[in-house]
Amino acid sequence: MSDIEAAADLLDGQGIVRPEVEAAVRQLIEAFGEDIARQGIERTPERVARMFDELLAGYRVDPQALINDALFDIEYDEMVIVRDIEFYSLCEHHLLPFLGSVHVAYLPRARVIGLSKIPRIVDMFARRLQVQERMTNQIADFIDTAVSPHGVAVVIEGLHLCATMRGVKKANARMVTSAMKGTFRSNQVSRQEFLDHLARRADSARL
């Protein structure tokens, strides 16, 4: 198996059981007064340990292996946009999920990155304990370094369960973050073109 296949398998896998995580989950369940031997719960520590290993697989992905052979020298200088990339992450403050969509654009400088790699880059950073602001910058910085384009733009729209299930309990609140680098930061026309594409996508969704 190649390095890039191994990196992809980590993000696509079902997770392994780590005994220390399984033991911690068992202790947590018992602390809340549940019977760990009850039929519906007896295998819950194993399932939760496997789940966390899957949801946090991004820590174990080699970034260079992920994009290994997916950079191509192509004379193309118009905007490339990959939008509506679904993501699921865990808030580092409460270990509750936040989820939504990532929209990425870049202006190539003599080379492009394979289409499938951008969603995998998103997954690599989403599959960690995160805050949305940091994840936005990490995705933009990584693509900027890997592809060396004229500019990179990333917009993330997220629904945070820590704000819907607890705390302020606002079910319809969405958080929007953005990172603009290079041309997208310095050139209003390029930035507006990207944002207009997202606006058209939102208008279409309402039809």
CA–CA distance, 122 with 63 (Å, rounded to integer): 11
Selected catalytic residue, list 91, 138, 150, 157: 91
- pLDDT score recorded for residue 3: 53
- pLDDT score recorded for residue 207: 46
**pTM (global) more than 0.95:** no
CATH topology of domain 3-58: GTP Cyclohydrolase I; Chain A, domain 1 (1.10.286)
Selected catalytic residue, list 22, 138, 150, 160: 160
- pLDDT score recorded for residue 8: 60
Mean pLDDT per 10-residue run, the chain (207 residues)?
56 81 97 96 96 96 90 94 97 97 96 96 98 98 96 98 91 95 97 93 59
Determine the straight-line distance between the first and last CA of the chain, rounded to whole angstroms: 45
- pLDDT score recorded for residue 13: 66
Determine the CATH number of domain 70-206.
Answer: 3.30.1130.10
- pLDDT score recorded for residue 15: 79
- pLDDT score recorded for residue 200: 82
150 is catalytic: no
Asked, colleague to colleague, whether 3-58 and 70-206 share their fold, the answer is no
132 is catalytic: yes
Selected catalytic residue, list 22, 103, 130, 132: 132
103 is catalytic: no
- pLDDT score recorded for residue 123: 97
3-state secondary structure of 129: strand
Structure tokens at 79: 């905007």
> What are the Cα distances from residue 139, in Å, to 77, 121, 129, 200?
21, 7, 15, 23
Selected catalytic residue, list 34, 94, 193, 197: 94
CA–CA distance, 126 with 55 (Å, rounded to integer): 8
Question: Among candidates 185, 122, 200, 126, which has minimal Cα distance to 152?
Answer: 185
| Domain spans of the chain, in order of start | 3-58, 70-206
